[in-house]
Amino acid sequence: MSKFHRPSSMLKKAGVGFLSVTLAVLAGCSASSSDTPSAADPKASGQAAPGGPVKARWLVQSHPNAQMNNDMLWVKEVAAKTNVNIEWIAGPENLDQYKEKFNLTVVSGDIPDLMSGPVDMFVKGGEAGAFEPLNNWIDKAMPNFKKLLESNPEYARNIKTDDGNIYYIPSFAAVKANSVFIVRQDWLDKLGLKAPNTPDEMYNVLLAFKERDPNGNGKPDEIPFTTRGKKKGLNGFIEPFGVSLDEDFLVENGKVSYTYTDPRMKEALVYLNKLFKEKLIDNEYATNDSKIWDQRLSTEASGMTWDVFVREDYFDKTIVKTNPKGDFSIFLPLQTKDGQRYTKSQQLSVIENTRGISSKTPHKEALAKWADWFYGPEGHMTYNFGILGETYTMENNEPKYTDMIMKDPNNSPLTKMMSMGRHHWPAVNDIRYENASQSPSVVKMRDEVSKLVKPRFPKEYVSYTQEERDVINAKFTEISTFTDEMFDKFVYGAEPIDKFDEYAANIKKMGVDEVIKVQQAAYDRYMKR
């Protein structure tokens, strides 16, 4: 028996908030998800539908740069290679509206052959019987996918539920690094400074940005550091103290605890309050939107941020419109007290937006083979690079995008490929695709930071029983709201830091220990997968 064989245990009920999908779905498709495959076992080629074209309806979240249609280059190539033709159903662009559309579609019982959406919606819907477990087909129709999971145990652990089922067709990221410090390198150079290594050095750099007029206008108007990420945008200042805003719960030696009541958070808040009081960080960090943040960094207003690494290239292009000598660079995370560097800001190995096969479709086997094609060599190259001789060439056995992709006057390479239909498909992203869209300096620092990424609490991958969801829903929303309010008050100085212990005691009274118990149980099950 394959290690990926679907367990025979009864399907669990879906979680709170899934629009009472359990009864509606199970009534409509309780027998479908366990149908015996009707066709013979596939050959190793993984060809999706060798017996003839298959037409599959697919609900997707719309994107302004990728209005999917069958005339797009990537769409035509995938159809030609797999013998599966897609009838696109365009959902809303807005994520909340799309989630509502997703839920209503599932509850209606008229579920298209394929649907896209966030991972957790497929887990809940799959447990209720709406989506076909891939376990039914891994041995029979998905040799490439099976090989990928066997050679990457982390992938297998992250996409399974606790009962061993896989309810969606995943995509996998090629890069670990995510948010980094991005700084005006020309400001550092002008002031004779180097990128900071420690919190104390960071303080000195920010103070110099404030007091020594790096923008050269003769006015003390610089905002040394700005962000669009609210408190998450301050994470680079928090992590050198040993905790991270990228995880509500942290795991040390197998034990789960709550990040925001950890004594090390108190130390970090003392530091942040000092930066805030002296106006070394944007005093509007909690209300800034992306437009304000962009404007401040694209002009001479601000000199540093904590954001996704690709933004360095973006701001290098925008700043020269204000200052032709303007220049941004990335620097490494600040050191901890013992001289170590790390970050928990990271791209997930399993990309959050995914897709699944309806348990009611008559094309289960064909779509399993179709999905498997993307995990094989031909599908991998097609997804990542397109058509040989048209969108890429091979030089010294390495793919290189053509001018069609790299030199479009109106679009970045990523936007250009999306507009040609490189969107929504299953994939293992290729690092060479990532490299093609980033400058060599960004690639170099991205890879340096990736080496420093530490695992964080796997909130996206743990699963909860209904009883555990009830505890989280009853307790954690209130705890999170109180935590967010108090975090900002401590940073602002509206609450003195000597009230941190009182705040932690209040969190305890609100039931955080019960929530930690749930998270510990979920984490322990995850580690046993």
Long-range contacts of 524-529 (CB under 8 A, 24+ apart): 525/162, 525/462, 525/463, 526/157, 526/162, 526/458, 526/461, 526/462, 526/463, 527/254, 529/156, 529/157, 529/160, 529/162, 529/164
Residue 434 falls inside a structural domain:
no
On whether both 405 and 479 belong to a single domain, the answer is no
Q: How confident is the model at residue 51 (pLDDT cuts 50, 70, 90)?
A: low
Q: Token pair for residue 196? A: 């900071």
Task: Kindly report, residue by residue over 181-232, the tens digit of the pLDDT.
Answer: 999 999 999 999 999 999 999 999 999 999 999 999 999 999 999 999 999 9
Co-location of 115 and 223 in the same domain: no
Give the Cα separation of 204 and 151 in Å (integer).
Answer: 47
- 235 with 355, same domain: the answer is no
**C-alpha–C-alpha distance, residues 171 and 425, integer Å:** 8
Q: In what order do the strands lie in the sheet with 84-91?
A: 84-91, 54-61, 114-118, 353-357
Q: What is the DSSP string of 317-333?
A: HHHTTT-TT--EEEEPP
Mean pLDDT of 328-347: 97
The answer to whether residues 254 and 369 belong to one domain is: no
Nearest to 128 by CA among 13, 16, 19, 31: 13
pLDDT at 175 exceeding the cut of 90: yes
Domain boundary among 429, 449, 470: 429
The three-point CA angle 444-447-450 to 5° equals: 150
Residue 465 has pLDDT above 50, yes or no: yes
Residues 218 and 284 in one domain: yes
**Which residue segment(s) compose the domain that 296 sits in?**
178-345+440-528
User: Residues 200, 337: one domain?
Assistant: yes
Contacts with 214 (C-beta within 8 Å, 6 or more apart), sequence order = 184, 187, 190, 191, 208, 222, 303
pTM of the shown model: 0.84
Would you state the pLDDT for residue 90? 97
Stretch 21-32: mean pLDDT, rounded?
A: 39
Indicate whether 128 and 274 sit together in one domain.
Answer: no
**26: in domain:** no
pLDDT(26) > 70: no
| Token pair recorded at residue 122 | 């497929």
In this structure, the answer to whether residues 474 and 513 fall within a common structural domain is yes
* Averaged pLDDT for residues 132-143: 97
Q: Are residues 235 and 298 in the same domain?
A: yes
DSSP calls for 61-77? E-BTTB---TTSHHHHH
* Average pLDDT score over the chain: 91
Indicate the DSSP class of residue 421.
T
Going by pLDDT thresholds of 50, 70 and 90, the confidence category of residue 434 is confident
Domain count, the chain: 2
pLDDT for 35 beyond 60: no
pLDDT at 38 over 90: no
Q: Is residue 117 part of a domain?
A: yes
Question: What is the percent of the chain where pLDDT is above 70?
Answer: 90
Counted residue by residue, the chain has a size of 529
Asked whether residue 2 is assigned to any structural domain, the reply reads no
Beta-strand runs (E) in 348-418:
353-357, 392-395, 398-401
Given 368, 396, 429, the domain boundary residue is 429
pLDDT at 50: 53
Q: Residue 65's pLDDT band (boundaries 50, 70, 90)?
A: confident
Whether the pLDDT of residue 16 is over 80: the answer is: no
**Which of 2-16, 136-150, 260-274, 346-360 is least confident?**
2-16
Supply the CATH number for residue 168's domain.
3.40.190.10
Give the end-to-end CA distance of the chain in Å, rounded to a whole number.
17
Beta carbons of 334 and 341 less than 8 angstroms apart: yes
Helix (H, G, I), strand (E, B) or coil at 267: helix
Residues 84 and 204 in one domain: no
The reply to whether 391 and 380 lie within a common domain is: yes
Residue 19, pLDDT > 60, answer no
CB 176 within 8 A of CB 246: no
Q: pLDDT grade, residue 307 (50/70/90)?
A: very high
Residues 207 and 284 in one domain: yes
Q: Which residues pair with 57 in a beta bridge?
A: 87
Task: Give mean pLDDT, residues 398-405.
Answer: 95
What residue type is 440 in one-letter code?
A: P
Lowest mean pLDDT among 63-67, 76-80, 130-134, 525-529: 63-67
Q: Is the pLDDT of residue 497 over 50?
A: yes
- Indicate the pLDDT class of residue 27, thresholds 50, 70 and 90: very low
Higher model confidence: residue 93 or residue 33?
93
Residue 102 pLDDT: 98
CA distance 112 to 57: 5
Mean pLDDT over 493-519 rounds to 98
Average pLDDT on 5-32 reads: 39
| Boundary of a domain, candidates 429, 450, 478 | 429
Confidence of residue 42 (pLDDT cuts 50, 70, 90): very low
Whether the pLDDT of residue 474 is over 50: the answer is yes
- Whether residue 33 lies inside any domain: the answer is no
Answer whether residue 458 is part of any domain: yes
The average pLDDT across 260-274 equals 98
Whether residue 510 is contained in a domain is answered as: yes
Residue at 256 is within a domain: yes
